[in-house]
Structure formats: structure tokens, C-alpha cells
Amino acid sequence: MNKKQAIILAGGKGTRLKPYTISMPKPLVPVNGKPILENLILKLKSHGFTEIVLTVNHMADMIKAYFEDGSKWDINISYTYETTPLSTMGPLTLVKDLHKNFIVLNGDVLTDLNFSEFLTGHVNSSSLFTISAHKRIEKIDYGVLNINKMNKLTNLEEKPNKEFLVSMGVYALSKKIIQHIPKNTFYGFDHLMYDLLQKKVDIKVEVFDGFWLDIGRPSDYEKAIQKYTD
């Protein structure tokens, strides 16, 4: 555990974040005067991570031109390139020299999660796959109808707030996970979870109640801007 490795998924098109992503890839959209991805890399460095792999595809040249080999931050950055989209888990099959245990993160995550402690907890549990999860409350803009088997109304919830436990886009993995991921195939987090559940492989979930934002939508991006300007 002296050297810690993080794989950052930075190949998405950022379609949901338009218009901010029309002229630049989502990882380069600025927050706090720096690209989202730079904020994430600096956080990883502060937690002792020395090896970063960026999986890139869309506007890859712009990302590589900005981050280069990571020497400006005194950290080692390397890249994998997808010739066809491989989703979130597929790119792991392209990474050479994977550590025995490592973390995988979406490239648009802002959080104060201690990545080092998260990885250590995963290793100590001997888990194959650990998900960092967060409770999120969403307001439903409709009257929610609850009915019984006879289609009779039993309750009405007018524009309720619903609480969900969601994946933060932060995972800790054992290298053994690669045997479950097909090569050269579009294969996402959802595909892997369904397959592991079907195989009855235990998946650990760590609930985190600190700060977390997935900058996938304009509303969340605006929240991030507000947080860093308060």
C-alpha cells in the first residue's frame, strides 16, 4: 500500500452537461479556477496516490495536452486510449500494471471522501469490489399515487422528497475483477454489477455522508460553483 493507484474515467462526452461541454471535454470544465479533473487529481495526491491512469476517448488530445505526464504536480499520469467506447469498466482491461488493489473514479466527481482510507478499508475487508455510496434526496414534481392490488388509491404523496442510496462513481477494486470484464466490449458499471450479483459475488457498499457532487448535470455544476465561491 506504499504506492497507491487510481484509475480515472475521463472518456465521456459530457452530453448532459451541455452547453458547458460544447467546446471542451467535461473533465476540463472549470471549478474553483481549475478543471474538475485537476481538483480530483490534487485531492488524490493529498491522500498519497502517486500513480494516476486516465482512460480517455472524447477530445483525448485536449486532456493529454493539459495534464501531460503529471510532472507539474509531481505525480505520475499515464493514459489508455479507446478506439471504440468501452463505457466505465471496459477500459480497465486496457490498463497495464494494475496494482493488486486500486480505486476507480469518474472524472467528474467532487468529494471530501478520504480516498486513502476508502482503499485501505477495501483491502482490509478482502472484497473484490467496494462501492462508495451516498444518500441523495430528490424532489418528485408530481403527486405520487399509491394503490393496492385492486387498483384502489391507498395514499397520495404530493410532490414528495424521496431518499435514495446512489453510487458516488468511486470504487475500490481487487485486480481479480479483471477476469469478470470482457475485452474490447462496451461494458459498464451496471453490466458488472448485474453479472456479479448473478454469480453471487459479494459486493461491499460503504455509505459516505460527507460532501459529494457528480458534475453530470448543469444543476450540479452550478452547486459546485456555488460551493467554491461561498
The C-alpha cell that represents 81 in the structure block:
486510449
Position 84 scores a pLDDT of: 84
What single string gives the DSSP state of each residue in 29-98? SEETTEEHHHHHHHHHHHTTEEEEEEEE-TTHHHHHHHHTTSGGGTSEEEEEE-SS--TTTGGGGG-SS-
Position 101 scores a pLDDT of: 97
Instruction: Name the pLDDT band for 173 (thresholds 50, 70, 90).
Output: very high
Position 124 scores a pLDDT of: 96
Between 224 and 180, name the one with better pLDDT. Answer: 180
The C-alpha cell that represents 167 in the structure block:
453510487
Q: What is the pLDDT of residues 80-105, one digit of tens each?
A: 998 888 999 999 999 999 999 999 99
Contact present, 52 and 76 (Cβ < 8 Å):
yes
Contact present, 218 and 144 (Cβ < 8 Å):
no
d(CA 171, CA 185): 20
Q: What is the pLDDT of residues 54-65, one digit of tens each?
A: 999 877 888 899
Q: Collapse the DSSP code of 158 into the 3-class scheme (helix H, G, I; strand E, B; otherwise coil) and give the result.
A: strand
Position 12 scores a pLDDT of: 63
Domain boundaries, the chain: 4-133+166-229
CATH code of the domain occupying 4-133+166-229: 3.90.550.10
Instruction: Name the pLDDT band for 230 (thresholds 50, 70, 90).
Output: very low
Between 119 and 27, name the one with better pLDDT. Answer: 119
